[in-house]
Amino acid sequence: MGAKKLEVFNAIERRYAELGFVVSAPARIVILKYLLEHKRINGLILSSIIPLHVKTIIQHIKVLERIGIIKGYYVGKHYYWKINEQCIDDLEKLSWAFEK
């Protein structure tokens, strides 16, 4: 395998590649659709709306967090995720993926 040569691409091209990766998995699209409609989500809700193993769901969440689309926070003892407000413009570019 060759090394990734990200330095040959500008920041905008790299960001578009990340956003393409976000919508490459149906589970991530479902998570983002839910968040756009309901503003926050936790593990219990995720496991009820996505028929995948919990570890798989968490892997999708970690991808969204790593790219910066969502961020997590605690409310009491419960952990929730929400849309990162700084990424709203990025999500608007992907709006075609969230159409019903």
pLDDT at 6: 64
4: in domain: no
What mean pLDDT is predicted for residues 7-17? 82
Q: Can you give the CATH number for the domain in which 13 is found?
A: 1.10.10.10
The structure's pTM equals 0.81
Residue-wise burial string across 68-82, b where 16 or more C-beta atoms lie within 10 A, e elsewhere: ebbeeeeeeeeebbe
46: in domain: yes
pLDDT, tens digit, 9 for 90 and up, residues 31-89: 998 998 999 999 888 889 999 998 999 999 999 999 999 999 999 999 999 999 988 88
Range of the domain at 56: 9-98
